[in-house]
Structures are given as structure tokens and as C-alpha cells.
Structure 1
């Protein structure tokens, strides 16, 4: 390029399809300009690599750009801007010369962009709805009865109530969005449901987050790309998880027991079995199978516990009163308690309803079946039964590594003693 000619003048004098070298580029190569058949210009950085000519496009020649500008415009590059861009390419080429130069960098970048696009597309398909469904399926596979309640709560209050959020990639959901989902329930007075929803969503995200390091979590959870749990920073409603503050008192328990004791029918026998075995969780009790009934005890399967863990066994001894009640209400076939010939077990709602009917007939008001469980614990506590034994009898959470993993003792004598004490108290005048 002569000093008398500007890049624009050189460009206008060029023939279409020809290359012209405009300047040398530091640290290597030169800047070339080519005039295209449509009359526009294109800048290139040129060098030689491994004996072959290499041209890398810089961008279009913007003949209207300020001559001294060093940054590209919306239409392309000035001469000075093209020199600056070519220097960047040349520096990158020289820095990677042993690995193939600028071409290898371009190939690696294209591969990186392709992988990023594939990952983005995969995340678009891994929606919040799919994560929540996968979590419910995992609960079902682990034999946890809570899977049905989780499905109902999540479908009604997330998928149906917030369809756009449900179709959002799970990894893009924010803590604020989760809080808004909970807020809708709190404002409707459904505080307990809001906390349940939070618990299920938090566990679902924790599964996906732990999938990279926890081999017990199905591999499919890794696809959601969860690095942090957006639900963990939300606050549970403080009024939503209040424990039952109104357990049935001693006199009420005695009245209830005496009423069902004097009735010789199937319903009363099952209610006696429930009370005489310590007020076990009704949802677990109704699922008892005959294979889990033994001469001096029976086994329940407690699904409550940490995500990813199967239900743990809970052994309950049989008192004389419990055995007599069981003989009267136990069915033949796989299921111990059924009213349709063994096709399904009696539902928890049905048994709770029978308990309410019996309490009403006995003259008890404002009665709920869950009060039996808390009432029994309160009564046993007043009788000197330790909290540890009460907890083991009613299958409360077992804390501590030693108790969870090393202590295989079932505390059968202690549990039996507590149940016999319960019957003695219920029978006393």
C-alpha cells in the first residue's frame, strides 16, 4: 500500500475476487483485503502454517467507518479495527502453534459451542415438572407410601397452578419462584400444605444435586444439572408444622378402650388391635401383610426417612389382648386387613373414620384418630416409660450413627413391657 492511497482508494481500484495485502501484522502474518463479486469487501489475516497458506476471515470492510476507529461497527471494520483484530488472531495462533495454531483453536471452540448447545437443549428438556415426577417415581420404587401424596400435592400446587414454571428447566428455577409457590398456599390458609410442598420440592432437588456423588440415586437425575438447591433457602411456615397439642387424655383413652372392647364386631376388633399395639401409624398398620405376622410379634415397614433409602422395618410385640383382636379381624390371603376379599387393604381413611365413629358413640367430642397415638405416648410417659422406649415402640426417628447402623437390638422385652403397662392402665378402675 503506498502512502498516497487510502484503504478505501485501494479497495475501489481492486478487481472482484482478488486479494490485496494492506499491512504486516505483529507478531505474524499480514492483513489482506478481498473485493467480493457483490462489490463489498472482506478483511483476512494471512500467514503460512506447516507449508500451507492460511487465511482467516476478520470481517467486512465498512467503508463508512471512522478511519481511526479501532473497534468494529454494526456494518464491519475500518482498516485500523481490522489490524487490531488481526493482531489478536495472530497472537492466538502463535501461542498455540505447537498444537495446530489458530485452526485448532477454532475447532476446539466449535466443539465447545456444540457441547454447550447440546447441554442447553438437554436442560431445556429437563423441566421442573419432570424432576418432580422423577422424584415421586423414586419414592414409589423405594416402597414409600408418601409417593401418592407427593404426586397429588406437586401436581395440584405446582404443575397445575404454575404451568409456565413447571415447564422451566429445573436448573433455572430460583428460590424466589419457589417462595412464590409456597406463598400462594400460605395466603390461602394452607400452611401445612405449603410446608409439605416445600419438603417434597427440597427432597427432589437434593436427589438431583446428590446424583453426581451418590451412586444410590438413579443416573437419570444427573441430567437435570442441579448444582445447588433453590428450595433450601426458603423458609418453612412456622405455623404449618405445629405438633398435635391436644392428645386425648387418660380418661378419654379409657372410655374409648372400654367402648371398643365391649363390641364384638370386625371394626372394633381392628380398632382394639390398633390401640393395643401402641397406636402405630394407621397408614402403615393397614398395609400389614400376613407374611409379616408372627407368633409373638409383627413387622411394619416404615417408609419415613431419608431420601434414597428404602423403608426400614419396625418390629412390634403382641400382647395377649392384641393377639385376641388380631384373630378376630385378620383375613386369609396376603393382606391381613381387607374388606374386599383380599384385593386391596383397608384404607387409612376408612380406619380413621371407624375410630371417629367409635369415639363419638362413646361420648367423646372433637376426636381425631391421630390423638390416639399422641395420647398413648403421653400416658406411657406419665407411667415412667422412657422417651427412648416410647420412640422405638411408635417408630419415631432414630438418630445417631450408632443407633441407625450398629444397634440391631429390637428392644422387644422393653416394648412388650410398655404395651402391657398400657393395657393395665386402660383396664384399671
Structure 2
């Protein structure tokens, strides 16, 4: 039972304190409210401070006497009292969590992506450094638990006001996901220790709405005439631009970031196929995407490959093509087409070529099914795999689609079924 008497906990007073009737006793300091010492039947004495944080009664151990002397314990009690008065939680585990900054959180999030094998991890880290750390150093150093909605709005709003809606929404998503991961990490021992120690309990970015204009639907597709004009001008380009742009079309308009990873080891010349590793979305393991190669595609590969390992390269395979390589080609040809009066519906990019291939192959006279196109372009395959046997890799169908695509850009007619007359019996 606690002793109601109060005494100033000086060295002399503490030395004289004894347990009450052989039982544990608590003595409170007469000057510092909440500061006390616990005396056990064994004679051990422990300084502590007791108070309320957000209506929760807490007790913080200061140390044992005499290892912690009375003067040291008194100073520590005053420090804790001041923390509570400022609305802080003085418990050691809370102090450790509170010491984790917003920068620590975002850095840990980048490390999580890296540990998951995400190829986007490096790019995400660079964006976080540029758009948060460098742009808002004070927020970067602010305790993660103190970040609020207004702080998040400052970061995202700066990019939106700079007319960068797509980047603004990416940063919004990174912040929101980082906080979500930290909250989930409290119950997931598989998460990095740095993330688990955050003890984040709320997500200030949860209420942030998607940035308007960050994702515009790709409704633009070249007409057949425009696509053929594009192809003709691609074939007039100097090497290696000519073969690279041709190969982009002849392989079905695959995503450039996936093409850039293709190496000579991913080619099977006997089977006339190329393997692309599709890391798109939240996959932890890439989808193996096999693309048939037309003879014309192999000819393009032979013209651009050299001593380096990369197939889609402008310097003989030493390095892969950079991010805007195909877009720069598309922009150059677009200007030529506009000047020549070949452009019917305005602006297009390298991404438009992919949309064009899908759109035109679905229509007459090609009529390639959406299932085959999904396999060829490596998107939306989940439902298809449920409808078909897992072992059905669509090799023949994908090859037929690419042959139709080649006839389309070359302006050749689709072969029609030959009608054979049956002679009447005599």
C-alpha cells in the first residue's frame, strides 16, 4: 500500500526510507507532482515519474538508487514533467518512435520496395529525394508521427501548381503507401526493423484525393493510313533508330521499360522468340512474357546488336535505350507527318503505337481476339488464365497476330479463304 506521506527526495531522505510493514511502499516527492520512489521488501529503491498522457495514466521508470542518485533522478523527473506538459509521451519506446522522422519513414519505404525486388525502387527513391527531401527539408526532419494532412498537401500541391499532375499523384501515392506500410508493419515481423519501429497509428495522407489530370485515358489511336505513314517514315530513319523503331512495332508495341531489359540471352533464335520479364503492377515475381519473332524482326536485331549484352540499344548493346528514346523518334516522325499533311487526328507518342496496334488488330479485316491481344501485349491476363489451360501459351495465335500486323503496316491485303468448287458427280 502506498504511503500517503510526502517528502523531498534528497539523498539523505531516500537512504532512510524503508518498506511499510515489510511490504512495498511508495513515497511521493513533496515538490514535484508525480515524482516518487518505490521501496521493495528486499530494500531495493526505484525512482519513477507518474502522469497522464492523452488521459492515459503512465509510469516511467527513472532508475534504481543509488546507481541513479537523488540529484540525477530529480533532474530527470523535471524533464519528464516538462515533456508531458508539452503533450509528448516520455516513455522510452515512444521516444524512440517519436524520434523517427518523416525522412526516416520515406527512406524505409524505399528500402521496402528494394527488398521486395521492385525494379521501380531506385526511381521511387530518386523522386522522393527530389520532391520531398530536397524541396521540403524541414518536413523531412519533422517527426513522422507529427506529419499531418496540411504537410502532405504542401508537398503534393507544389507539384500540382507546377503543372506536374502525374508526378504530384505519384508522390501522393508514395506518402500514403509509406504510412500504410508503417501501420501494417506493427503486426508484421517480416517487415524491416526500421519500419516496425515507427509505431505509426494514423495515415495523414488517407484523405488526399487523386490528382486530377494525373492519368488520362489513351483514347488516341492512329488510323490505318496514319499508321502506314508512320511505318514508311520509320524505314527511312538512319540506323540504329530505324531498326529499333521497326522492332518496337514488329514485336507488338511492347512497353519500352520492358524492352530495355532484354538481353541477348533472352533470345531464342531456333524458336524465333524473345522473352520479356514483365514486372508491371504489384507482382513480386515477374511474369514471363514470350514474344514470337518474325524474320523481319530478327533482321532488325542483327543490325543493331554488337558486343554488348542489350538488344534494345543505340550503341551496339553496351547500354539499353534511355527512357524517352522511342518518344523522341515518334516526335520527329509526327512533325514530318504533320508537315506532309499525313496527320489526321493530331498529337501522338510512342505509347500511341501500342494503343494503335491493339485497336487496329481488333477491327476488320484482322479480328484478333481480345484474349490473344492481352497475351501479346501482356496485360489483363488474370481472367484469361482462369478461362484457359495454364499450359496454353498462345504461341501460334500471337505469331499470327504479328503476321497480320506486318501485313497491315506494309499495306498488304489479308489472305482470304480459297473457295474450291466441288464437281458434280457424273
**Fold in common (TM above 0.5):** yes
How far did residue 304 of structure 1 move?
2.1
Determine which of 292, 300, 307 is the counterpart of 1:317. 292
Please report how far the alpha carbon of residue 104 of structure 1 lies from its aligned counterpart in structure 2 after TM superposition: 8.7
CA distance in 1, matches of 2:111, 2:326: 27
Query: Are 2:151 and 1:168 aligned?
Result: no
The residue aligned with 2:273 is 297
Alpha carbons of 1:322 and 1:238: their partners in 2 closer, same or farther (altered >3 Å)?
same
Q: 1:337 to 1:414 in 2, by over 3 A?
A: same
Equivalent residue for 1:49? 22
Deviates more, 1:283-292 or 1:122-131: 122-131
User: 1:280, CA displacement in angstroms?
Assistant: 0.6
User: What displacement does 1:372 show?
Assistant: 0.9
Three-state SS of the structure 2 residue aligned to 1:355 is helix
The residue number in structure 1 matching 2:373 is 390
Q: Deviations over 1:94-118 (max 9, x none)?
A: xx99xx9997996985189999643
Normalising by structure 1, report the TM-score.
Answer: 0.70
C-alpha separation in 2, matches of 1:407 and 1:175: 46
- Do the aligned partners of residues 403 and 230 (structure 1) sit closer, same or farther apart at CA in structure 2, a change above 3 Å counting? farther
**CA offset digits 1:18-55 (Å, max 9, x no partner):** xxxxxxxxx786747789999x9xxx9972225xxx66
Alpha-carbon separation, structure 2, partners of 1:29 and 1:141 = 55
CA distance in 1, matches of 2:243, 2:116: 31
Conserved? CA contact 2:5–2:28, under 8 Å:
no
CA displacement, residues 289-341 of structure 1 (integer Å, 9 cap, x when unaligned): 1111112211222232217x244332222123322222222233322233445
Partner of 2:277, secondary structure, is strand
Give the match for residue 253 of structure 2.
Answer: 279
Secondary structure (helix, strand or coil) at the match of 1:110 reads strand
Which ranges of structure 1 fall in alignment gaps of 5 or more residues?
1-26, 61-74, 78-84
Once residues 250 and 59 of structure 1 are traced to their aligned partners in structure 2, the CA distance between those partners, rounded to angstroms, is: 89
User: Structure 1 residue 402: deviation in Å?
Assistant: 6.5
**CA separation of 1:32/1:189 partners in 2, compared to 1, >3 Å: closer, same or farther?**
closer
2-side partners of 1:141 and 1:76: how far apart? 49
* Pairing of 1:331-350 with structure 2 (within 5 A): 331-340=306-315, 342-350=317-325
TM superposition shift of 1:158? 1.5
The structural deviation recorded for 1:235 is: 0.8
The residue matched to 1:57 in structure 2 has which SS?
A: strand
How many angstroms does 1:413 deviate by? 2.4
**What is the TM-score with the length of structure 2 in the denominator?**
0.71
Q: Are 1:371 and 2:352 matched, yes or no?
A: yes
What is the root-mean-square deviation of aligned Cα atoms in Å? 4.3
Structure 1 counterpart of 2:109: 135
Per the alignment, residue 61 of structure 2 pairs with 110
The alignment status of 1:426 with 2:399, answered yes or no, reads no
1 CA distance for matches of 2:273 and 2:331?
Answer: 27
Give how far 1:171 is off: 3.4
Q: State how far apart, in whole Å, the 2-side matches of 1:387 and 1:242 are.
A: 22
CA 1:423 to 1:142, structure 2 compared with 1: closer, same or farther past 3 Å? farther
Q: More helix by proportion, 1 or 2? A: 1
CA distance in 1, matches of 2:398, 2:222: 21
- Rounded to whole Å, the distance in 1 between the matches of 2:210 and 2:320 is 34
Give 1:162 shift.
1.9
CA contact (8 A) 1:31 1:45 kept: no
CA contact (8 A) 1:288 1:335 kept: yes
Pick closer, same or farther for the CA change 1:255–1:346 going to 2, 3 Å: same
1:143–1:303: 8 Å Cα contact kept in structure 2? no
CA contact (8 A) 2:185 2:195 kept: yes
Q: How many residues align?
A: 367
| Counterpart selection for 2:129 from 155, 172, 195 | 155
Helix, strand or coil: the match of 2:368?
Answer: coil
For residues 284 and 37 of structure 1, the distance between their equivalents in structure 2, rounded to whole angstroms, comes to 72
**Aligned: 1:327 with 2:327:** no
Q: Distance in 1 between matches of 2:11 and 2:293?
A: 96
| 1:214-233 → structure 2 map (5 Å cutoff) | 217-233=191-207
Q: Does the C-alpha gap of structure 1 residues 315 and 176 become closer, same or farther in structure 2, counting only changes over 3 Å? A: farther
Report which of the two structures shows the higher radius of gyration computed on alpha carbons: 1
